[in-house]
Amino acid sequence: MLVEMIDPHIPYLLMIIGVSGILFEWYSPGLFIPGVVGMISLGMACLSIQSFSISKTAWPLIAFVVLVSLLVFGFVMKKVVVALQAPVVTGREGLIHQIGVAKSGLDPKGTIFVQGEVWDAVSEEPVSANEEVVVAGVEGLVLKVKRL
């Protein structure tokens, strides 16, 4: 191979880069780039050392594997985009628009029961006990509610 003809040390450098990339990906998963660079470097090192050769019949199999890998990557990326566009369901943002029940009368302050918890709440209009309310906003640990 051409790489081997230029310098015999290059395949071993590629092997070191490949192993380092894979180890870096192993110890800090999720970065994706070190693992890809490591796999490509190891593949190039194996080709240049001629530890495996590629025949004409192997190219369709390689193309098939690359195509399947791209399809799986596309599927995973689609799932990631859908997950990133999903509405927030936890934290302060997850409480907004939730329906709760007033535990005490709100005129303007009181307590409500929403998502299995009792919260301090403030309402602009009077709300009687056991009446359903909807959370309109959150200020610290106090919920702003409106009558449903």
Query: What's the rounded Cα separation, in Å, for the pair 104 and 89?
Result: 26
What stretch of H or E contains 138?
Answer: strand 132-139
User: Do 106 and 127 form a contact (C-beta atoms < 8 A)?
Assistant: yes
| pTM of the predicted structure, to 2 decimals | 0.47
Q: What is the mean pLDDT of residues 3-12?
A: 70
User: At which residue do the structure tokens 């081997």 appear?
Assistant: 4
Kindly report the number of other CB atoms within 10 A of residue 112's CB atom. 26
φ, ψ of residue 123 to 5 degrees: the values are -130, 140
Amino acid at 38: G
Residue pLDDT, tens place only, 68-95: 888 988 888 899 899 889 887 777 788 8
The H or E element that residue 120 is part of is strand 117-123
Separation between Cα atoms, residue 61 and residue 47, nearest integer Å:
16
pLDDT tens digits for 29-66?
A: 877 788 888 888 888 888 777 766 667 777 787 788 77
